[in-house]
Amino acid sequence: MAKILAVDDSASMRGMVAFTLRGAGYEVFEAENGELGLDAARGAAYDLVLADVNMPVMDGISMVRQLRAMDTYKGVPILMLTTESHTEKKMEGKAAGATGWLVKPFDPEQLLATVKRVLG
């Protein structure tokens, strides 16, 4: 089953995302900021990365930019978890190399649908 890296500073959001995806059979690793996310990404090959935008230490945009600079993450799908009120963040995320986004708030069904959309 596909391995997913979920990066979000909010423990409740991370919990919800991880629980939902694990329930669908995915293997999920959690990280609570961009820097820890990068560490995790260096240590293992993930099939999909979910990244929150606003995080302390290192935000999601910077993390995506650095992920894309890594050979192993050239074509790996990366989805930004963003809010509707920050349309410009979507564009910033795209410019940094994100595949797409999932608009917050989302429910478990929306999350699964989007993940399936990317992972097939």
Partner 1 sequence: MSAVDLTQFHKTFFEESQEGLDAMESALLALDSGSTDTELVHTIFRSAHSIKGGAATFGFVDVAAFTHVAESLLEEVRSGRRPVEPPLVDVLLRSVDCLRVMLRRSSAGQPVADAESEELRAELASLVSGQDEGVQPPPAESVSTSAGWRIDFAALPHLLQTGNDPLRLFRELQQLGQLDVIRAFIVDGAPATLAEVDPTLCYLGWELHLQGAASRSDLDAVFDWLDGDCVLEIHPLSTGGSAETENVSSSSPVATDPSRRDASPPGIVKVATDIPAAVRETPIAPAEGSSIRVDIDKIDALINMMGELVITQSMLSEIGENFQQSQLEVLREGLVQLERNTRELQESVMRIRMLPIASIFNRFPRLVRDLERKLGKQVKLELQGEHTELDKTVLEKIGDPLVHLVRNAIDHGLESPSRRKAVGKSETGTLKLNAYHEGSNIVVQISDDGAGLNRDAITAKALQNGLISSGQELSDAEVADLIFQPGFSTAAQATDLSGRGVGMDVVRRNVRDLGGSVSVRSVSGKGSTFTIALPLTLAIVDGLVTAVGGERYIVPLISIVESLRLKASDVRKVAGGGEVFHFRDAYLPIMRLHRSFACHEAVMDIERGIVVVVEEDGRRVGLLVDDLLGQQQAVVKSLEAHYRRVQGISGATILSDGSVALIVDVGGVVHMGRQSKAA
Query: Which parts of this chain interact with partner 1 (CB under 8 A)?
Result: 9-13, 15-16, 19-20, 23, 54-56, 68, 74-78, 83-85, 87-88, 90-91, 94-95, 97-101, 103-109, 117-118, 120
Identify which of residues 22 and 42 has a Cβ nearer to partner 1 in the complex: 22
Q: Are 87 and 54 in contact (CB under 8 A)?
A: no
Shortest Cβ 46–partner 1 spacing (Å):
11
The phi, psi pair for 99, rounded to 5°, reads -75, -40
Q: Which is nearer to partner 1, 44 or 107 (CB)?
A: 107
Q: Dig out the tokens for 1 from the structure.
A: 């089953």
37 vs 77, beta carbon nearer partner 1: 77
Strand runs labelled E in the chain: 3-7, 27-31, 48-52, 78-83, 100-104
State in angstroms the smallest separation of the CB of 8 from partner 1: 9
- The kind and range of the H/E element at 93 are helix 87-96
Closer CB to partner 1, 43 or 120, in the complex: 120
SS3 107: coil
For residue 39, give the amino acid letter.
D
Q: Smallest distance from the beta carbon of 92 to partner 1, in angstroms? A: 11
β partners of residue 27 = 3
Beta carbon of residue 4, minimum distance to partner 1 (angstroms, whole number): 13
